[in-house]
Amino acid sequence: MPASSTKAIPRAAALREILPLTDVLRAQLGAVTDRAEEVAQQFAKHMFDVDAQAGLLAARVQSLGGAANDQAAAVQTLKARSDELVGALEASLADRDQIIRGLVSQVRDQNRFIAEIRTIARNTKIVALNATIEAARAGTDGAGFGVVATEVRRLANGADKTAGALAEELAQLGGRLAEALDDSRGRGAHATNEAIGQFGEAQAGLVQQVSDAGGRVERVVAEVSDVSDVLGAITTEGLGLLQFQDISRQATEQVQQALARIAEHAERIAVRLEGTEEGDDVPTLDIGGLEASYVMDEQRVIHAAAVGGQPMSTASAPTIELF
Amino acid sequence: MKNALLVDDSPTILLSISGVLTKAGYTVKTAAAGAEALSMLAAGLKPSVIITDLNMPNMDGIELIRQARAAPGCRFLPMLMLTTESRTDRRAEAKAAGATGWLVKPVQPAELVAVLDRVIPA
């Protein structure tokens, strides 16, 4: 056996050591691909969860905004009702003043009747005086008439005195009513107006606070809605990026196929070395066939860069083409 | 309601693209193989569009489109290829089989939705 042949067998055996190595590398690449696929799917599910939670958060905040609007509307309704009540109160106070003014006027009108009573009393006293004089002239016959005249004069004096007292009482009553009226227009009116003003200010403050709070809630709702939209857009972009897992899977599968080709090539060389098969002494590895099997331009570019040639171009086909 | 039939042997692509389309307002049905997609059409599924991968086991996307075109109600249905394949000869095959368009992965979500807006009748 020639020396070259005696060395061929161990060389073939050494070459065949490549075979289990390529098997291991292919298995490792397969495991990486499977793991990447599993992670990609978990990632997608997480993205869906984030998107769902963002939508839920936006919906809940929107609901909160609706409740705030309802509250603001309720306060506005309350304010309108309060305004009505204040208006009614002011009208009632105005009516009360009008009634008091009427009473004062009526009391003052009573003085006219008192004056008439006093006039009647004065005339009665004159009549009584004349009757007394006539009774004196009549002598004994007029004595009884004189008694009556005296009584009439005393009654007239009593009526005059009573009329005076009544006039004084009415004057005091009129004064008190006028004073009460002035008081309701003055201090009372001031106090009432002040109370109504304070109530109005407190009410306006409350309405403003609710309005401000409503405005803040609206801004928060808008901001949360914007954030939710941004999260939705990020989710969509993230889901789109997952396509790279499929792209890398296909590229990895082709590397696995290339490793299988290397193993086959090594086996063919080993067979030649052992001289058990006729053929060329050194079979060629069809690297051009590898390049032709690529599906992505990026693979062709990387291949060409590695072997120092020009990529097998597919011209400038657009990435999106409608026929 | 717009609805899409998405066909791909990659579970990740099915999740990814169906998620994008769902967020764009589509109802999405998925199939992991061409034969499964044809069965769904035969069972009465009426999608607004079919989006299919090219390289799949047993039946590739071009053959799927060829057979789907013959299905009742699918003559004018938009059918798009969504693939990593960039060779122009394969595009020509797809066009001859009745494909409406060709999109190379990765496609931007907004671009995909814009293409669907163009090919699906209002």
How far is residue A297's CA from residue B103's CA, in Å, rounded to a whole number?
14
Residue B36 has pLDDT above 90, yes or no: yes
DSSP category for residue B44: T
Q: What is the mean pLDDT of chain B?
A: 94
How far is residue B29's CA from residue B16's CA, in Å, rounded to a whole number?
13
Say yes or no for a CB contact (<8 Å) between B85 and A323: no
Say yes or no for a CB contact (<8 Å) between B115 and A320: yes
What confidence category does residue A3 fall into, taking pLDDT thresholds of 50, 70 and 90? very low
Q: What is the mean pLDDT of residues A96-116?
A: 83
Q: What is the mean pLDDT of residues A197-220?
A: 86
The C-alpha of A60 sits at a distance from chain B's nearest C-alpha, in angstroms, of: 20
Whether the Cβ atoms of residue A307 and residue A287 lie closer than 8 Å to each other: yes
Residue A4 has pLDDT above 60, yes or no: no
What confidence category does residue A318 fall into, taking pLDDT thresholds of 50, 70 and 90? confident
Residue B22 has pLDDT above 70, yes or no: yes
Say yes or no for a CB contact (<8 Å) between B106 and A295: no
DSSP lists the bridge partners of residue B102 as A321, B81
Can you give the pLDDT at residue A192?
77
Helix (H) or strand (E) holding B4, with range, is strand B3-7
Q: No. of H helices and E strands in chain B? A: 5, 5
Nearest to A40 among B8, B12, B20 (CB): B12
How far is residue A301's CA from residue A310's CA, in Å, rounded to a whole number?
8
Q: What is the mean pLDDT of chain A?
A: 84
User: In this complex, how many residue pairs, one in chain A and one in chain B, have their CB atoms less than 8 Å apart?
Assistant: 111
Nearest to A239 among B10, B16, B103 (CB): B16
Interface residue of B30, B55, B100, B105 to substitute, partner A, most A CBs within 10 Å:
B105
Say yes or no for a CB contact (<8 Å) between A249 and B10: yes
How far is residue A12's CA from residue A266's CA, in Å, rounded to a whole number?
9
Q: Which residues contact A319 (CB under 8 A, 6 or more apart)?
A: B86, B103, B104, B107
Chain B residues touching chain A at CB-CB below 8 Å? 8, 10-13, 15-17, 19-20, 23-24, 55, 83-88, 91, 95, 99-109, 111-112, 115, 118-119
How far is residue B12's CA from residue A244's CA, in Å, rounded to a whole number?
10
Say yes or no for a CB contact (<8 Å) between B102 and A245: no
Can you give the pLDDT at residue A196?
81
**pLDDT by residue (tens digit) across A133-185?**
888 888 887 788 788 888 888 888 888 888 888 888 888 888 888 887 787 67
Strands (DSSP E) along chain A, which ranges? 320-322
How far is residue A5's CA from residue B29's CA, in Å, rounded to a whole number?
64
> The complex's ipTM?
0.91
Say yes or no for a CB contact (<8 Å) between B15 and A314: no
| Angle formed by the axes of helices A187-241 and A143-185, nearest 10° | 30
How far is residue A90's CA from residue B63's CA, in Å, rounded to a whole number?
89
Can you give the pLDDT at residue A1?
45
Residue B81 has pLDDT above 70, yes or no: yes
How far is residue B94's CA from residue B54's CA, in Å, rounded to a whole number?
9
Domain coverage including residue B15: 2-119
Can you give the pLDDT at residue A278?
64
CB-facing half-sphere around the CA of A74: CA atoms within 13 A: 8
Interface residue of A38, A248, A322 to substitute, partner B, most B CBs within 10 Å:
A322
Whether the Cβ atoms of residue A294 and residue A254 lie closer than 8 Å to each other: yes
Interface residue of B7, B77, B84 to substitute, partner A, most A CBs within 10 Å:
B84
Q: What is the CATH number of the domain that holds B31?
A: 3.40.50.2300
Choose the most confident range, by mean pLDDT, from A36-40, A77-81, A142-146, A271-275: A36-40
Q: What is the mean pLDDT of residues A257-285?
A: 80
How far is residue B100's CA from residue B115's CA, in Å, rounded to a whole number?
11
Say yes or no for a CB contact (<8 Å) between A319 and B104: yes
Q: Distance between the two ends of chain A, CA-based, in angstroms?
A: 68
How far is residue B98's CA from residue A307's CA, in Å, rounded to a whole number?
38
What confidence category does residue B82 fall into, taking pLDDT thresholds of 50, 70 and 90? very high
Helix (H) or strand (E) holding A186, with range, is none
Say yes or no for a CB contact (<8 Å) between A295 and B118: no
Whether the Cβ atoms of residue B112 and residue B19 lie closer than 8 Å to each other: no
Name the domain count of chain B. Answer: 1
Say yes or no for a CB contact (<8 Å) between B102 and A247: no
Can you give the pLDDT at residue A313?
62
Burial annotation A125-141 (CB, 10 A radius, 16+ → b, else e): beebeebbeebeeeeee
